[in-house]
């Protein structure tokens, strides 16, 4: 076990998905963790799965306090922790930063010395499932962790916040609260809103329509299964950054609707082509593996029988051929006992992979 940067103990206040995952990750590094939550059940589950020990009424002097609560109460809990633990660095892991910092700065109980021990952070990791039972100690491994130190934060406190991210295996990014909130509005909050709105269109769909659904619909609605109670708070706390993005999408939707009202009209097909091209260009800007654009890899689609061991066998044979898989996706064929596995490899290995799989008896769709 590699040595941790934090000496501990660490107090985690809020034992939901993220807070419990922090506890599990730190315990795996040998750091002593205390747990606290307004819900005894949530805290009990977190303790039972090994995220730490419950903080009862014992007096502790934590090195670090991690606030893992919903945005609506985070600022108040930060203030409480700064007062209760006068030597501790206090960080929060909420997904909005500007409103929380404003709340901490406006807390009349706090002086400059207390506020200097606070550092806002945001681990860019999560799951559709919520609660401590969904927590994973590896949740933050190689994921971005944003450090949003305010102007009055002590350098030693910022270092403690960074040590938390390092100990949990995350990749650190440093941003101002404004840069952070604008960034997550675009790459996280906006997709959530779009996914939820798409999924809401399915409420009155006929079952025979949904039976035709493939990975396209599943992909675009996957995050619509997220915790609605949390997202209500996120949307409201980051509304200023989210509204301009939604307004831009509304303009694009209006443009598309107007074009489709007369799809054979002058310039209609060109306009549709431009909309699709803009989407293609935007999609191409999303970094893929190692920061490479998605189109940097070649795709090979393999048809497999829907029976145990097929995927394991496929991956084993690709590995035996010393061909590295850059990405992998699977889709079932509706009404048939087969599935399609999309294997992404570097372009120079595509033909070799097809030859290997074909010789081994796999059905490769070209």
Task: To the nearest 10°, report the CA torsion of 135, 136, 137, 138.
Answer: -140
Nearby residues of 128 by Cβ (< 8 Å), 6 or more positions away: 222, 223, 225, 226
- Residue 289 pLDDT > 60: no
Contact 353, 318 (CB under 8 A): yes
Pairing of strands 144-148, 171-174: parallel
**Per-residue pLDDT at 22:** 97
Examine the pLDDT at 296 and tell me if it is beyond 80: no
Please give the angle made by the CA atoms of 237, 238 and 239, to the nearest 5 degrees: 100
Q: Would you place residue 116 in the very low, low, confident or very high pLDDT band (cuts 50, 70, 90)?
A: very high
User: What does the pLDDT look like over 219-232, one tens digit per residue?
Assistant: 899 989 888 888 99
d(CA 366, CA 364): 6
- Cβ 341 vs Cβ 311: under 8 Å: yes
CA gap 210, 58 in Å, rounded: 55
Confidence check: pLDDT of 284 > 90: no
Burial class (CB in 10 A: 0-12, 13-18, 19+), 289: middle
What's the confidence (pLDDT) of residue 239?
Answer: 96
Question: Does 290 have pLDDT greater than 60?
Answer: no
160-174-94-51 Cα dihedral, nearest 10 degrees: -40
pLDDT tens digits, 18-75 = 999 999 999 999 999 999 999 999 999 999 999 999 998 889 999 999 999 999 999 9
Residue range 63-97, pLDDT digits in tens: 999 999 999 999 999 999 999 999 999 999 999 99
Q: Helix 228-237 vs helix 239-260: angle between axes, to the nearest 10 degrees?
A: 100
Contacts of 37 (CB under 8 A, 6+ apart): 13, 14, 15, 19, 43, 46
* Nearest in space to 92 (alpha carbons), one of 83, 100, 84: 100
Which of the pair, 341 or 121, is modelled with greater confidence?
A: 121
Hey, which residues does 53 pair with through a beta bridge?
A: 34
> What is the tens place of the pLDDT at every residue in 193-244?
999 999 999 999 999 999 888 878 888 999 898 888 889 999 999 999 999 9
Strands (E), 201-349: 298-305, 327-332, 338-345
State the pLDDT confidence band at 326, using cuts at 50, 70 and 90.
confident
Q: Is 216 helix (H, G, I), strand (E, B) or coil?
A: helix
Round to the nearest angstrom and report the end-to-end CA distance of the chain.
Answer: 46
Pairing of strands 33-36, 10-13: parallel
- Cβ-based neighbour number of residue 278 at 10 Å: 11
């Amino acid at each position: 076990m590699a040595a941790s940067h934090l000496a501990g103990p660490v107090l985690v206040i809020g034992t939901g998905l993220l807070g419990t995952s922090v506890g599990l990750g730190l315990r795996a590094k040998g750091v002593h963790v205390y747990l606290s939550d307004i819900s005894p059940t949530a805290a009990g589950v977190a303790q039972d799965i090994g995220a730490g020990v419950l903080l009862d009424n014992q007096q502790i002097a934590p090195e670090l306090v991690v606030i893992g609560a919903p945005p609506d109460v985070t600022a108040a809990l930060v203030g409480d922790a700064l007062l209760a633990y006068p030597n501790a660095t206090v960080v929060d892991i909420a997904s909005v930063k500007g409103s929380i910092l404003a709340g901490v700065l406006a807390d009349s109980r706090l002086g400059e010395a207390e506020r200097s021990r606070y550092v806002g952070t945001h681990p860019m990791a999560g799951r559709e499932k919520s609660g401590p039972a969904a927590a994973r100690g590896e949740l933050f491994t190689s994921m971005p962790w944003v450090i949003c130190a305010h102007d009055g934060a002590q350098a030693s406190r910022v270092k403690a916040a960074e040590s938390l991210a390092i100990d949990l295996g995350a990749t650190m990014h440093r941003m101002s609260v404004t840069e952070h909130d604008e960034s997550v509005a675009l790459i996280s909050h906006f997709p959530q809103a779009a996914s939820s709105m798409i999924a809401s269109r399915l409420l009155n769909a006929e079952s025979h329509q949904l039976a035709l659904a493939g990975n396209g619909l599943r992909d675009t609605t996957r995050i619509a299964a997220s915790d609605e109670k949390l997202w209500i708070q996120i949307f409201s706390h980051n509304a200023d950054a989210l509204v301009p993005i939604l307004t831009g999408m509304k303009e694009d939707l209006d443009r598309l609707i107007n074009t489709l009202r007369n799809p054979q009209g002058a310039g209609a097909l060109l306009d549709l082509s431009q909309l699709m091209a803009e989407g293609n260009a935007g999609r191409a800007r999303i970094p893929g593996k190692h920061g490479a654009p998605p189109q940097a890899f070649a795709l090979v689609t393999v048809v497999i029988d829907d029976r145990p061991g097929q995927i394991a066998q496929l991956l084993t044979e690709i590995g035996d051929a010393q061909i590295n898989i850059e990405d992998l996706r699977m889709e079932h064929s509706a009404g048939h006992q087969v599935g399609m596995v999309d294997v992404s490899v570097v372009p120079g290995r595509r033909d070799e992979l097809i030859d290997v799989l074909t010789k081994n008896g796999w059905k490769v769709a070209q």
